Amino acid sequence: MKLYSYFRSSAAYRVRIVLNLKKISYTTVPIHLVRHGGEQHSAEYLNINPQGLVPSLDIAEAEHKSQIITQSGAIIEYLEESFPQPALLPTSPIERAYVRTLMQIIACDMHPLNNLRVLQYIENTFDCDGSEKMTWYHHWLAKGFAAVETLLTKKDSTHYCYNDQITMADVYLIPQVYNAQRFKLDMAPYPAINRIYQHCIQLPAFSDAAPELQPDADK
């Protein structure tokens, strides 16, 4: 498999974690989202992913025609269905819904408002300075994390978002926390989130997926 990835992309980070958890071998194809105006805008990459986003996963075997999956959620669902062990969803429908609730708070209500292209658009279109951009960033992250924290507290979560099992909720949470720390969000109000984060980043599947360890990481 080939993963088209940018080391700082939280969406690509999610996919790297899942690939590691399921012990799937893959090759990274770096797509730098900033250098040269953004390599994702090249004609070559737009032919792979018409949205010009990362990640994209080519699941074709060597010497075969490319089979591309885009969108991290679709990629992760494909990997879960095709490589079911270890399972990243609970068995009960209601517990699966709980895990998906956490996933969607992050993927639908937090990440889209704070990804690179949105922050660049705000800065360039509305002439925002850095502090105004960070006010926007912190506002939406704080609202999302507050909801996640409440749900985790009600579940008495300790090491993981769901019981003693790594699930897709952890896969989505850890990259979002990583980015929040990078942009200096005060994480003190979220002890359950912090506890899960500190536990997960010690696990090889998570630590090996960290942005600073990727082949395209800025040196």
CATH of the domain at 172: 1.20.1050.10
Query: Are both 32 and 112 inside the same structural domain?
Result: no
Q: What is the mean pLDDT of residues 161-165?
A: 95
Domain that holds residue 173: 93-205
Residue 85, token pair as written in the block: 């062990």
Answer yes or no: is pLDDT of 65 > 80.
no
pLDDT band at 159 (very low <50, low <70, confident <90, very high): very high
Alpha helices in the chain (DSSP H): 10-21, 43-48, 72-82, 93-104, 111-114, 116-125, 130-154, 168-182, 191-200, 204-207
Distance of CA 209 to the CA centre of its chain: 10
Report the pLDDT value the prediction gives residue 113, as an integer from 0 to 100.
87
Q: 67: buried, middle or exposed (CB in 10 Å: 19+, 13-18, 0-12)?
A: exposed
Report the pLDDT value the prediction gives residue 185, as an integer from 0 to 100.
95
Q: What is the mean pLDDT of residues 118-142?
A: 89
Query: Are both 190 and 102 inside the same structural domain?
Result: yes
Report the pLDDT value the prediction gives residue 192, as an integer from 0 to 100.
97
Query: Are both 52 and 156 inside the same structural domain?
Result: no
Answer yes or no: is pLDDT of 2 > 70.
yes
Q: What is the mean pLDDT of residues 59-76?
A: 88
Report the pLDDT value the prediction gives residue 62, as an integer from 0 to 100.
66
Lowest-confidence range among 82-91, 105-114, 166-175, 199-208? 105-114
Answer yes or no: is pLDDT of 133 > 90.
no
Query: Are both 101 and 70 inside the same structural domain?
Result: no
Q: Which residues pair with 24 in a beta bridge?
A: none
- The count of domains in the chain is 2
- Alpha carbon separation from 107 to 154, 173, 182 (Å, rounded): 21, 9, 18
Question: Residue 181: CB partners within 8 Å, gap ≥ 6?
Answer: 187
| CA-wise closest residue to 178 among 162, 161, 194 | 194
Q: Is 104 among the domain residues? A: yes
Q: Is 70 among the domain residues? A: yes
CA distance 23 to 44: 29
- Alpha carbon separation from 120 to 3, 38, 143 (Å, rounded): 24, 12, 21
Query: Are both 126 and 70 inside the same structural domain?
Result: no
| CA-wise closest residue to 138 among 187, 189, 190, 185 | 185
